[in-house]
Structure 1
Amino acid sequence: MKDNLVDNNAYTYYHTVWQNGDVAPGTHYLDVTANDKFEGIVKVYVTRRYDADNDHVKAFAIAGANDGSEFEKVADVELPNAVKAGKAEAEFTIAEGKSYSKLRFTVTSTTLERGYWHMAEFQLRPMTLNADCKNATYPEAFAAITKALEEANKAVGSVSVEDIAALQNAYDEYKKAINPETGIDAIGVETLRNNAVYDLQGRRVQNIGKGVYIVDGKKIVR
Structure 2
Amino acid sequence: MPDIAYAVSIVSQFMHDPMTLEAVYQILRYLKSAPGKGILYTRYDHLVRSLTYVDWVGSKQDRRSTSGYCTLMSGNLVTWRSKMQTIVSRSTAEAEYRTMALGIWELQWLRMLLSNISLPISGPFMLHCDNQSTMHITNNPVFYERTEHIEVDGHFIGEKIHNNEFHLVHTWTEEQLADIFTKSLHKNRVNFICNKLGLFDVYALT
Q: TM-score of the superposition, structure 2-length normalised?
A: 0.25
Which structure's residues are more often strand, by fraction? Answer: 1
Which structure's residues are more often helix, by fraction? Answer: 2
Q: TM-score of the superposition, structure 1-length normalised?
A: 0.24
Larger Rg: 1
